[in-house]
Chains A and B, each alone.
Chain A
Amino acid sequence: MRHFILTVLLLIATPAFAVTIEMPLNNSAQEQRARAIFSDLKCVVCEGQALAESDAPLARDMRGQIRAMIEAGQSDAEILAFFVARYGKQVLLNPPFETATMMLWVAPLLLLLGGATLLIRATRGK
């Protein structure tokens, strides 16, 4: 029984997100917007972590900047554009769907189809 409980606890354990130990904005609607934006951006000094999850000092600075911009009344689009202008499109967790970034979305699909084709061919040959 103890093992069962421990296993369940381990399975439902979630990472402790960095945002919880920073000063949130007073306005909860604004803080919700901030957190949504934190999940839309990458931490630029980490390996594949969202801005929401990183403890890195630069990530803290970036989150501080986002909160300040929300309080100053800037829109989500303006905030994202601010970071793209400084860090490039790769700062967005979900690259926009346009001609320049089309391959990012399509390439995995193409590779999957290509691999599946080769696999089918190989198994049929037997």
Chain B
Amino acid sequence: MTRFLPLLLFFALAMLLAFALLQKPQHDIMKLEGSMMREKLPTLTLHARDGTSQKLALNGRVTVINFFASWCTACVGDHAELLKLSRAYPQLVLEGIAWNDTTSRTDEWLAQHRNPYTHVWFDTKGKAAVALGLRGLPESYVVDKHGVIRYHLPGPMTPQLRNDIMEPLIGALMEEP
């Protein structure tokens, strides 16, 4: 009987993993969990195009902070979805942060792919990236009217993510007092 033990253990492990993988992710838009979520946005010191250092001001508006770069291939698709998002919500503030890139290449890329951003910043030393726990590009943070991070999207925004999460979330946050 004990010779079946390894096989049984394997089977049990396979069942456990299958169960875990097949869990349907549940989104209660207002109760999303993840790193940096529900935290107040830290003070971000960013560089403007002229090189001057400025602190990002939110001014009580729903904001999406989006890290991107001209060399980032996944950013192209993400950017297209961001454009659609900005058209759906013209009141939405979009702060674009170019990470590890030059002003000229960023400007070229934005000219080619269109610029939906309210402001474009340059995170020259990566301080903002590290302050927000950035793991790669593209990466976006949705911030509510009170400066609290309500969603952290590590990776490109897909049409599905935009439809299922981003648009409903931003709509709900705009309604919030």
A residues sitting closer than 8 Å to B (CB atoms) are: 44-45, 57-58, 60-62, 64-65, 68, 85-88, 118, 121
Contacts and interface: CB of A to CB of B under 8 A. Distances in A.
Interface in B119-162: 125-127, 129-136
Nearest to B127: A65
B100 interface: yes
Interface residues of B, number: 17
Contacts of B5: 118
B35 A58 contact: no
A58 B125 contact: no
Contacts of A88: 35
B133 A61 contact: no
A88 B130 CA distance: 13
From DSSP, what is the main secondary structure of chain B's interface residues?
loop
Contacts of B130: 58, 61-62, 64-65, 86
B48 interface: no
Nearest to A68: B127
Contacts of B56: none
Interface string B45-65: 000000000000000000000
Interface centre among A58, A64, A87 (most CB of B within 10 A): A58
Q: Which interface residue of B36, B129, B131 has the most chain A CB atoms within 10 A?
A: B129
A60 B124 CA distance: 12
A86 B126 contact: no
B97 to A, nearest CB: 13
B125 A61 contact: yes
Given A44-B135, A45-B136, A88-B35, A58 B2 contact: no
